[in-house]
Amino acid sequence: MADRIRVAVLFGGRSSEHSISCATAGGVLGALDRERFEVIPVGITRDGAWTLLPDDAAGLTLGAELPVVADNGSRVRLPVSAATREWTVVEADGSERSLGAIDAAFPILHGPFGEDGTVQGALELVGVPYVGNGVLASAVGMHKHFTKSVLTTAGLVVAPWVTLTRSRVAAGLNGWRERVEALGLPVFVKPSRSGSSVGVSKVSSWDALDAALADAFSHDHHVIVEAGLAGREIEFAVLEGRDGAPPRVSLPGEIVVTGREFYDFEAKYLDAPGVQLLCPAPLEPAQLAEGQRLAAAAFDAIGGQGLARVDFFLTAEGWVVNEVNTMPGFTPISMFPRCWTESGLSYPELVAELIELGIAADR
């Protein structure tokens, strides 16, 4: 067999999206062509231990019990310097062995300590190429306040918002409640550095605001309160262009919420009723072209590399950017790969393309 590309797949992690990362990794492990790729699965426990796991997607699916990375006692070590790409593992019995040189890391990590630039920075320090966005784009995309700030500066429309910190709310500073109430009802309360709708609440009465803030602050000490918008929820999947070409944008997907307050965690991952996913979403040709243009502009605005999913509200006034997800859900049924499948790029082809983009990336 010809030399294969050696890929370290990183998943799990310390964030509240640990199980979603595991499920995403299960999809990627199942899609990688072993004729082209040699896979080294590295599971990161909830405590942050890097463990060596078998190359087996079994158990990494969402079901009645959410998947987790169990600590098997092994410890994977990054290269000691940028002069080598050799990873090592210390087994549970204390013996150490080389894992060989790694051509690329695929950090399938959602939320803090993975999607936010921290792991990306660690990989850059030791000269390991990796899939996806760089340190800056990852950090900006993870923090909803700064995402909105950057997009606004780039001339893109976002929903009005107020950013709060736990300490300022506790001290009653900056007239925060008056600023929040000026947004009008309903509002959405969100941890600023979380995803998968973890800690998100829809507030339709100001009496419910404090409880929603308490929930969001349990996940992050920065929280945004965002004006609720009436409109269709449309998402585009974005891939970095090859050799300096513009970003590639997929056909759109649409989330149609019929029996729930909003597209929450249970609807996204536990098959709860009341939500329908459409792909491709029905749009007029002019709407499609404009949505794709704006998705590419949002990707460029944060300095995107590799991939992103750009989420919009299509309101009566036009397109409003909701979020830029720099490591979107990546299970085979998630919207990001589904949009690309509908656009002519299969799930295995998409995974391979991302790895090739990561190896070629100019960091």
Catalytic residues: 17, 196, 269, 309, 311, 323, 325, 329
**Three-state SS annotation for 278-297:** ECCCCCCHHHHHHHHHHHHH
Contact 8, 44 (CB under 8 A): no
Q: Residue 186: is the preceding peptide bond cis (ω within 30°)?
A: yes
Measuring CA to CA, which residue among 100, 105, 79, 76 is closest to residue 89?
Answer: 76
Measuring CA to CA, which residue among 115, 50, 129, 123 is closest to residue 325?
Answer: 115
DSSP code string of 15-84: STTHHHHHHHHHHHHHHS-TTTEEEEEEEE-TT--EEE--S--TT-S-SSS-------S-EEE--SSTT-
Tokens of 124: 């850059």
Torsion of CA 5, 31, 310, 117, to 10 degrees: -40
Q: How far apart are CA 359 and CA 356, in angstroms?
A: 5
- E strand segments, 145-267: 161-165, 187-191, 201-203, 222-227, 232-239, 248-249, 253-257
Tokens of 174: 């900056």
- The type of residue at 74 is S
Q: How far apart are CA 257 and CA 94, in angstroms?
A: 52
Contact 143, 222 (CB under 8 A): yes
Contact 313, 231 (CB under 8 A): yes
Contact 51, 12 (CB under 8 A): no
Tokens of 325: 């997800």
Q: CB neighbours of 338 closer than 8 A, spacing ≥ 6?
A: 253, 277, 279
